[in-house]
Amino acid sequence: MKSSITIKSIRQKYAEDFRKKLATGQIASPIRDLAIMMGECQREARAQKLKLRKFDLVNLTIGDVEPRFFHVDGDKNLANELGLDPFGTVRKKINERILELRKLAWKTGTEPRTGYQPEALGMPLLREKFVEFINSYGFDYSVGETVIQYGSLPGIHAVLEGVRTQTQGKAVFVAPTPGFSVFYTQAKRLGLQFLGIQSQAADGYCCTPQALEATLTKIKTLPAILYLTPMNNPTSTVYNRATLAATLQVFQRMQPAGIILVDLAYLEMIPKSDALQLLRLFKTTHVLDQSIMVTSISKMFGYPRLRCAALLMKNPQLMKLLQDTAQVDYASISSGVELEGVALWEIIKPGSRKKMFALFQKRQQALLRWLQQINETREKNHQSPVVALNQAYTQVPLYVYIKLAPGVNFLDFFVETGICGVSGSVFGDIDQNNMLRLAVGIEPLANLSREPEAKT
């Protein structure tokens, strides 16, 4: 007897299950749990011996990068150029450079050691590489103002932890929403008060000076930590310059001892001239002394798994706070990570990273075309559209932030289209806005063929 199980019924089953778990608070990390759900759908489809076509299960959940698929819709040599192809010549060169650095350290008795690094700030040579990079955006940071961390996540966590200890839990974490809410969860888990400020697309989803002022008025006596992502995830927008300048001025006036965390995870993904103009504002509004720049190898090199980032700051007390935290929490960064970080900065060309961002842009465009086709097909069948294409944001090449049609929930959208993204509400957007974040680092979207939809 022919089985009645179809790929759509599998999507339906898992979506319903996810919906229930979400409603009953069983989901700890919605993005990761959605990525896991996609894996489960795929396994079940295989177990049912269903023939999966490219667009039956499209995982646009997690903002990760899969270089194994670069060649499918991008440059054949790109994974190699980025040192991510283990069979490639560039990976070999990186490995050779790592060995060379070890030999040099052995001969000269300098970093990296086999023992601990007492300062726990990270290998000076690697700090130098991050400094060179950030200073190319108009700053003048030094190695002594830089600390290496296992990615932005632990880096910002270390700041929050240090400030919490210092203020006996009295600091308040303030951030625009929607935003990269993992940090909002970190703050809450550490027992810090979190105040989100609803922001708008017109401001690039930067909080406005008026909204920030209203929030800071409420917490006048407490130290505030303001988290900003000028190249924003999930919204794929870049902060409006005038809004950012005015917002920084308000913070400086109302919180002269507060901290500004500037998350630059996607710094290289936008045109350099735009980034330069935005980052200049931290100098012109005189907030550099209270700011921490967070820059990471993760997304910019397509290598989040390396776990390597740097925090850069002018304020010596903050530097000391982080050093104290690092010395107690993890003793020293692994020299394996440090050496690989150095080799990547030396060997991977900025042009190769740009090629990767261009590939993501190609995928964004292909995705939007595909969504348009879905809308058109539905229209022909007298069905309402699933997305509002005039409200799609794409300034950060790794993401598309788009409005779903009224009444279409992100799980309904998945069941209907096979495309799984993450609801904007996961990032603190309001439910009524009905936004969806789609991440294009994994699936070779630019190459999705136009096979006819299976009968479901």
Site residues for ligand PLP per CB under 6 A:
63, 151-153, 180, 229, 233, 263, 265, 296, 298, 304, 309
Instruction: Give the nearer residue to ligand PLP in terms of CB position, either 175 or 359.
Output: 175
Q: How far is the CB of 389 from ligand PLP (least distance, A)?
A: 24
CB 454 within 8 A of CB 424: no
Those residues with Cβ within 8 angstroms of residue 263's Cβ, 6 or more apart along the chain or in another chain: 152, 156, 180, 183, 227, 228, 229, 294
Q: How far is the CB of 242 from ligand PLP (least distance, A)?
A: 22
CB 152 within 8 A of CB 263: yes
Q: How far is the CB of 148 from ligand PLP (least distance, A)?
A: 12
- Rounded CA-CA distance 17/11 in Å is 10
Q: How far is the CB of 156 from ligand PLP (least distance, A)?
A: 8
Q: How far is the CB of 300 from ligand PLP (least distance, A)?
A: 9
- Rounded CA-CA distance 275/7 in Å is 43
Q: How far is the CB of 337 from ligand PLP (least distance, A)?
A: 12
**Which residues are paired to 436 by β-bridges?**
402, 423
State the amino acid at position 233 in one-letter form: N
Q: How far is the CB of 195 from ligand PLP (least distance, A)?
A: 19
Instruction: Give the nearer residue to ligand PLP in terms of CB position, either 274 or 453.
Output: 274
Instruction: Give the nearer residue to ligand PLP in terms of CB position, either 38 or 309.
Output: 309
Instruction: Give the nearer residue to ligand PLP in terms of CB position, either 131 or 309.
Output: 309
Number of CB atoms found within 10 A of residue 11's CB: 25
Instruction: Give the nearer residue to ligand PLP in terms of CB position, either 163 or 262.
Output: 262
- Rounded CA-CA distance 155/152 in Å is 5
Closest CA to 206 of 251, 268, 158: 251
- Rounded CA-CA distance 378/372 in Å is 10
Closest CA to 411 of 67, 28, 47, 61: 61
- Rounded CA-CA distance 266/236 in Å is 10
State the amino acid at position 339 in one-letter form: L
Reported as type and span, the H/E element at residue 92 is helix 89-108
Q: How far is the CB of 399 from ligand PLP (least distance, A)?
A: 9
Instruction: Give the nearer residue to ligand PLP in terms of CB position, either 7 or 265.
Output: 265
Q: Report CA-CA distances (Å) from 234 to 66, 81, 169, 347.
A: 19, 28, 28, 30
CA angle 226, 229, 235 (to 5 degrees): 125
Q: How far is the CB of 3 from ligand PLP (least distance, A)?
A: 39
Instruction: Give the nearer residue to ligand PLP in terms of CB position, either 59 or 417.
Output: 59
Instruction: Give the nearer residue to ligand PLP in terms of CB position, either 152 or 177.
Output: 152
- Which structure tokens are listed for 214? 């209203």
- The 8-class DSSP code of residue 87 comes to T
In DSSP notation, 252-311 reads HHH-TT-EEEEE-TTGGGS-HHHHHHHHHHHHHTT-GGGEEEEEESTTTTT-GGG--EEE
Q: How far is the CB of 226 from ligand PLP (least distance, A)?
A: 15
Instruction: Give the nearer residue to ligand PLP in terms of CB position, either 296 or 434.
Output: 296
Residue nearest to ligand PLP (CB): 151
Instruction: Give the nearer residue to ligand PLP in terms of CB position, either 192 or 262.
Output: 262
Instruction: Give the nearer residue to ligand PLP in terms of CB position, either 10 or 260.
Output: 260
Q: How far is the CB of 230 from ligand PLP (least distance, A)?
A: 10
